[in-house]
Structure formats: C-alpha cells, structure tokens
Amino acid sequence: MSTNQNPPQKDRQNRRQRLRGFWERVTDGLRLDELWSQFKSEAKAGYGLYSGDVNWEPIDLEKSRFKRARLSAWALFQAMLMKLSPGRRVLLLIAIVLIIANPDFRIGRGDADLGFAWVGVLILFVLLALELGDRVTMKRDLEIAREIQQWLIPGEPPKIPGVDIAFATRPQNTVAGDYYDAFLRPPLSAASKPPSLLVVVADVAGKSVPAALLMATFQSGLRTLSATAASLDGIVTGLDRYARAHSLEGRRFTTAFLAEIDPLTWAMRYVNAGHNDPILRRGSGQIERLSSGGPPFGIPLFTDREIAYLRGSVQLQPGDLLFIFTDGVAEAVNESGEEFGESRIISAITAAPGETAQGILNRVMTAVNSFVGYARQHDDITALVLRIVA
C-alpha cells in the first residue's frame, strides 16, 4: 500500500517545491513584512509623482469631506492618465468603461455572464504589457549608460604610500549625478617633484540622466585641466567658467569639494564650492570642518569678473581622517521623514578611531542603511574616506 501512495506524495512534494520556487522568484526572498514596507515606500513615491501635477488649492477649499475625497481621486486619476501616450489613454478609458458599464460583471461568475468586461480586462493586460515593455527598454538603455558612467569613476583607489582611501556611491536611479575621484596629477617633466594627489567629490543638481550627462562633462573638464600646469585655483576657475557656460541659467549648477595633497609633506590645499563641509577627524579625535571656498560651480553672474574662490589649507598628520560626502548621505530619510543628519555621520566616524578607511566607510553606510530601512532613496549617496597612515 505504501508503494501505491509514494507517487502521489512525490507529486505533492514536487508541486510544493515548484510553488515555493515560484514564490521565491517573485518575492526575491523577501518576507511579507519586508514586501509590505517596500510596497508602502513605492506607493508613497508614486503618490508624490502624480500629486505634483495636481492643483490642490480648489480641492482643499471644498468643505465636504466626501466631495473632497472624490475630487482628489479624480484629480489623481487624471494626473496618472496624462502620463500615458494619447493612444494608451483612450485604451485605458475604454477598458474602464467596459468593466464598469457591464452590470453582470462579478468575480466568480461564468464567462457568459461577464460579457464585454473580459475585453476591458484584456485591454488592461495589454496596457500593462506595453508599459512594462517601455520600462524594460528604458532600463536596458540606462544600464548601458551606467556602464559608461562607471568608466568615468575609479573602480579602486590609487595605491599611494602612507594614504588609505576608500569610496562608495549608490545612485538613486540607475545613473547618478554624483562624482568622486582620487588620482595623481601627471608630472609635467621628469625633473619635477612627485605628483600631487587630487581628491574630488561633486554633486550635480538634479537626478538621473540629465545630471549624469553633466557629471560626465565635469569629469572630462577636471581631467583635462589636471593634466596641465594649472594650479588648484586655476582648475577651480576653469571648472566654474565651463559650468556657467552650460548651467541653463543656473538650473544646472554643481557643488564640489576639491583638494590637492602633497605626498611628501601631507600639506593639503582645498576649495569647497558650495558643497557639504567635509569632516576632518584628527588623530587626537578633534573634529574640524572644511568650508573655505565659494558658491557652487555654474551660478550665473551679472558681471564679466570671475568668482574669487577662497582656498583653504590644512596640515595633515598621521592618524587624521578626511570624510567627504554628498548631501544624499546626511539627508537620507527614514519612513517617518526624519533625516540621518551630520551628527550621526560624526558619531559613526569617531566611534572607531583605529579603523581603516574602508572600515569607516562601511560603518557609515551600514548606519545609513539601518536608519533608512525600506524608505525609498530620494537622492544619490556618495562618500570618500581618506586616512593618513604614515
């Protein structure tokens, strides 16, 4: 008898395994509470996308709560509808009319009772397939753009005796407007002194593809100017001049922190162009902020004069650690809308004074991840850590 029961039992086990495997693929291994948190975050982001196109003023003036809810739903539906192409708008409206107008449409009734409602459901699936097709095509193009962008930033830090460098970036979308780099400036002659180390972190205003394109031009300009005999002041002036010429009347400015370090003396000159003040943790534990500089690159001027950026200078010592970051780190928000804040960054980098640059970077990024949870990332996150070890 047991032999007769084995095949059915195996069939049930196989079905359960296939069902479990399908569920794992669909959920990417996430728990139900994690899926719900992710859905809430995405729903909140979607609501923000559509509600931004709604004129809420007349709706808020409506005294009836029921009528205000009905007007809000209608306004959001129109905002969603206008995101589609004209042809797809018409198809969506036809599908809704076919489904709602059929008085016999009930879940679980026979096919004959559903009538034209099935046509409406089929149209909805066709629209879903078309939108997914567009998304897949766009995602493929963005992945190619991401590969190109990764060519523009270093994959690993330069090997320089006495310096420990680590960096990380996490785009909000597939491509980012943040930029980081650390490289030795090419020597101008064989008899010249050892090349200086140039460190830069920049943040182009905006997100996704437009910001990524401007980031690419920033990288090109920086590398070109760095290969000349220009001083740090000259590099900064050249970058600002180019940014102002392509800033679209100030709508596409760039914040940046640039530092040039002498590998023999560890003297550092820097310019802060409207960027978040980097954190310098001395070996003694003292915290300093590096703010000398000027406005972001690309701010339009009403005069032909160049902006005179103030250059700062500090003397680095063994044990000192420099943490440079974009505003996406400090302004990362959790599901309650609370920002991570610079105080948490300082706490993370002062908690383990003897850690490597990579260890400090991992500590900060882990703290950001734990704080944010499943809240949707609203900006690019980039950080660079430089530590003097000898």
Q: What is the pLDDT of residue 4?
A: 52
Report pLDDT for 304: 63
Report the pLDDT value the prediction gives residue 191, as an integer from 0 to 100: 56
Tokens linked to 138: 């766009």
List per-block mean pLDDT (blocks of 10 residues) for the chain, which spans 390 residues.
61 79 76 73 75 84 85 87 87 85 57 66 85 76 68 82 92 76 79 83 79 81 90 92 74 89 93 95 94 89 74 94 94 87 93 88 92 81 91
pLDDT for position 79: 86
Parallel, antiparallel or unpaired: strands 293-294 and 267-273: parallel
Evaluated on CA atoms 228, 231, 237, 240, the torsion sign reads positive
Instruction: Please tell me the predicted confidence (pLDDT) of residue 348.
Output: 92
Rounded to whole angstroms, the Cα distance separating 297 from 202 reads: 10
> What secondary structure does DSSP assign to 191-233, as a single string?
TSPPPPEEEEEEEESS-HHHHHHHHHHHHHHHHHHHTSS--HH
pTM for the model? 0.71
| Cβ atoms of 357 and 386 closer than 8 Å | yes
pLDDT at 356: 92
pLDDT for 105 equals 53
Which domains are present in the chain? 20-146 (no CATH), 154-388 (3.60.40.10)
Decide if 257 contacts 272 (C-beta within 8 A). yes
pLDDT at position 1 is 47
